[in-house]
Amino acid sequence: MTPFVQTKPHSLLAGRGHASANLRQVFLDAIDAFERWPENEPEPTVPLDGVDVSISRACSLLRNCSDVLPGPACRQLRELALWHYGDPLTLKVYGVSYASGARLLKGMVGSILKRFDKGC
């Protein structure tokens, strides 16, 4: 018989639809943390239920969330992507899901971490 293991909802990957308000807020905090990330510093973290999680982990938790990202966060992500990639993206300002935003942000985090690991 397998023992019952109690888990918090965020320990299971959020998604397949709606995410809790605290998970959505963690992602919004992750966007802000990414924007403030000093060059050549380790990946920032954001608090989730009293535990610090990396911003890439915050993105993973929302990777399947179909909730609509607020307009200001969409605009912030678009500006960050324009700065990061140096190329206009077709990211819509409204109607973008948390999942789309999370995948975009996680990609930007990954490219910075690769540069950081290479010492560039």
Q: What is the mean pLDDT of residues 73-77?
A: 91
R_g of the chain, CA atoms, integer Å: 15
- What's the whole-model pTM score? 0.81
Kindly indicate the confidence band of residue 18, based on its pLDDT and cuts at 50, 70 and 90: confident
Which pLDDT score, from 0 to 100, does residue 92 have? 55
- pLDDT tens digit string along 76-102? 998 898 888 876 665 555 568 999 999
Q: What is the mean pLDDT of residues 21-40?
A: 95
Q: Per-domain residue ranges for the chain?
A: 20-118
Cα-Cα-Cα-Cα dihedral sign, residues 55, 61, 63, 69: negative
Which pLDDT score, from 0 to 100, does residue 9 have? 46
41, exposed or middle or buried, with CB in 10 Å at 0-12, 13-18, 19+? Answer: exposed
